[in-house]
Chain A
Amino acid sequence: MKKNNNDITELFRSQLEHAELTPREGFWENINNDILPTLKKRRRILLYRISAAASVLLILGSASAAFLYLSSNKDVKQTVAKANIVSKNILNKNINPQESIVAKINPKELACPLKSRINNSSKKRAQKHSNNIQDLSEDNDSTVTVTMHLSISYNERNNYDNNQSNRYNIWQTSTSAEGSSESTDNTVNLLPEKKNSTWSAKAAFNIGLPSKNNFDSPIGGSLTFEKKLSNWLAIESGVLYSYLHSEGQTLHYLGVPVKANATLAQSSDVDLYATAGGIADKCISSNGGSSSEPIQLATFAGLGLRYHLNKLLSLYVEPTMTHYFNNGSDYTSFRTKRKNDLNLQCGLCITY
């Protein structure tokens, strides 16, 4: 039998190794005519890709720049706030602003009006501010910054008339109502009002429920942006990549999710929200499957829990129930086997 095996293999190998078939007439002309349009198309695709890559880099660069700018701006605001508190103490004591105030700032005194201001806010934050102010008096560099700011503030005051500026009026209030909690509030009002952050960027990892069949749990990642429409409602969209693997089949999907998030409960550290929306998924690559599958539509609803690490960063987890609509594909995948699937999304959210 072994001999037959080798016989048949050898017969075909030896006779067909250099086998030839003549292509039909005019075949070269067909190929030649299609080369130029294909080259043009290829160049256009290359251009699109370069543009897309440049856009992504630009967006990432802008986002990073915005993030850095906002972060540094926040530091400036904090410094200015400290400076105003310092200034109030100086005014109370009728100190000449041009004098060096470094030696005269008593951290304990500085902390006092601030405590009255933050009576209604969390004690934790108050402690933080208090510590910051103490740091301020101990740190020579920070003190220099404060001194510069005071000089500017005083000039403004001297140049304004009593009825010329709201800022000045507020300033006046702060100087007249010494030591009261109200006066400190007003002093802080001198700062530009802090805008509420309405945009968030989210990066998340998704995983589906494991299947009993040969299909692995679908996994994926998403990059989305959330826009806060009101205090309780936000919309979110972006891109979602999904990877479906089973024996002999690997599918890669790229989709666009659109969803609405409604806040159910809120605390200083944790938010609970409901989420619902839809996804349009397109199979971008497949191994053992078909890449020319129609777009897969799905809808989902679930709950989300967001934990604020600080004002900018938060972690969130979203268990959702997803229903995959029949997209007419006759190919068997995880999604055709399990129309309803429980998905878990965990991610990081940056608010800016």
Chain B
Amino acid sequence: MTVLDKEKQLIEGCREGLDSARKELYITYSKQLLAICYRYTGDIEVAHDILHDAFIKIFTHFTYRGESTLMTWLTKIMTAQAIDYLRKQKKFSNFIINEEELPDIPDIIEAPSNEVLSEKQLLDFISELPDGCRTVFNLFVFEHKSHKEIAKILNIKEHSSTSQLHYAKCLLVNRINEYRKDEEKQQ
């Protein structure tokens, strides 16, 4: 049985409400989906809550019709659930930064030859970002959304999205540089 056939069978099973298919879907995708939730929320506990609610939504209202890949559809649901959570928690209120005084993005310190930033480490860097610019960064980098689309999703102005992304990049570069300096000192 090919991967496509397997996925087709999984989809049919979920549509029919089969426990085995649901579990299979959970096992296959839960790890990637949890990473996405964590990327958006910056809190592993909240990420679990969102994953839980989104899976309940998926299993009780399985509306996938093959319009994209299953993973793309699942990612969309997770993203929407996470943004909805952030919106309800009024997490976008800390968007206000002085846009006229945006710093230039610093240069990244060359990585030591033996250093490889782990997935967890990079995820942690993102989680440390303020909620507003973390969301813009996620939507721009991982969902490939334009600033116009981001502005529409988050109900902000387009130039706010641009400045938030810029701010997020600055913070991330600084954080990576800081991390590498610490690593060098330890060595």
Contacts and interface: CB of A to CB of B under 8 A. Distances in A.
A23 B169 contact: no
A267 B35 CA distance: 72
B5 interface: no
B82 interface: no
Interface stretch (A32-40, A126-134, A157-165, A221-229): A32-40
B3 to A, nearest CB: 15
Contacts of B26: 28, 31
B80 to A, nearest CB: 13
Given A19-B123, A31-B55, A8 B108 contact: yes
Contacts, number: 110
B52 A30 contact: yes
Interface in A288-316: 288, 290-292
Q: How large is the interface on B (under 10, 10 to 19, 20 to 34, 35 or more residues)?
A: 35 or more
A277 B120 CA distance: 59
B14 to A, nearest CB: 11
A270 to B, nearest CB: 45
Interface in B1-55: 19, 22-23, 26-27, 30-32, 34-35, 38-39, 44, 47-48, 51-52, 55
Contact of A20 (B35, B107, B108): B35
B34 A21 contact: yes
Nearest to A9: B141
B165 to A, nearest CB: 9
A166 interface: no
A49 interface: no
B60 A19 contact: no
A331 B31 CA distance: 36
A21 B126 CA distance: 14
Contact of B31 (A1, A12, A15, A21): A21
Contacts of B27: 28
A19 B173 contact: no
Interface string A1-32: 10011011101110111111111100110111
A7 B38 CA distance: 22
Contacts of B172: 8, 12
A331 B87 CA distance: 13
Nearest to B19: A32
A22 B52 contact: no
Contacts of B38: 21
A19 B87 contact: no
A66 to B, nearest CB: 39
B117 interface: yes
Interface centre among B26, B60, B108, B172 (most CB of A within 10 A): B60
Contacts of B73: none
B48 A24 contact: yes
A249 interface: yes
Nearest to A2: B105
B56 interface: yes
B184 interface: no
30 contacts: A1-B104, A1-B105, A4-B107, A5-B169, A8-B169, A8-B172, A8-B173, A12-B137, A13-B141, A16-B39, A16-B123, A16-B126, A18-B32, A20-B119, A21-B120, A23-B30, A24-B48, A27-B48, A28-B23, A31-B26, A31-B56, A32-B19, A32-B22, A34-B52, A35-B22, A35-B59, A42-B61, A248-B156, A287-B155, A290-B88
Given A12-B172, A22-B31, 8 more contacts: A4-B106, A12-B126, A12-B141, A24-B48, A34-B52, A35-B59, A42-B61, A288-B92
**Nearest 5 CB-CB pairs, A to B?**
A20-B31, A19-B35, A248-B155, A19-B119, A288-B155
